Amino acid sequence: MGERQFTLVARIRTTDHAALGAVLANLIPHGVMTPTPDGFRVEAELEGTSARDLNRMLLSALRRVDHRATLHAAWTSEETTEHFFDYTARGTHLAQTPETDREANH
């Protein structure tokens, strides 16, 4: 299976904002990381073989710094969005695009 482009939208909870912010800046240098009271909201583009592998890589790196960090993530590629809470898959559905929104409203 080849590399695919994924769009990540995630909520990360942490008790160590400074350390996790540094890890995120290294892992996702071109992403948008917005600090929140509980941690970070992250939006980024990443390449990988699967959403599960990317999710595992990201959460493992976060947990090396803060073992209590949690990750709510949505990974979108090729019109499919996969949701995860920490390492657990929470479902897959078609990604929302302007075209699918129009079809759903008619």
Q: Domains in the chain, please, with CATH?
A: 4-104 (3.30.70)
Taking the C-alpha atoms of residue 86 and residue 56, their distance in angstroms, rounded to an integer, is 8
Q: What pTM did the predictor assign?
A: 0.85
**Distance of alpha carbon 38 from alpha carbon 59, whole angstroms:** 16
Please determine, for residue 102, whether its predicted confidence score (pLDDT) is greater than 80. Answer: no
Assess whether pLDDT exceeds 80 at residue 103: no
pLDDT at 97: 61
- CA dist 1 and 4 (Å) reads 9
Beta bridge partners of 35: 40
Span 14-54, pLDDT tens digits: 999 999 999 999 999 999 999 999 999 999 999 999 999 99
For residues 17 and 10, give the distance between their C-alpha atoms in angstroms, rounded to a whole number.
Answer: 15
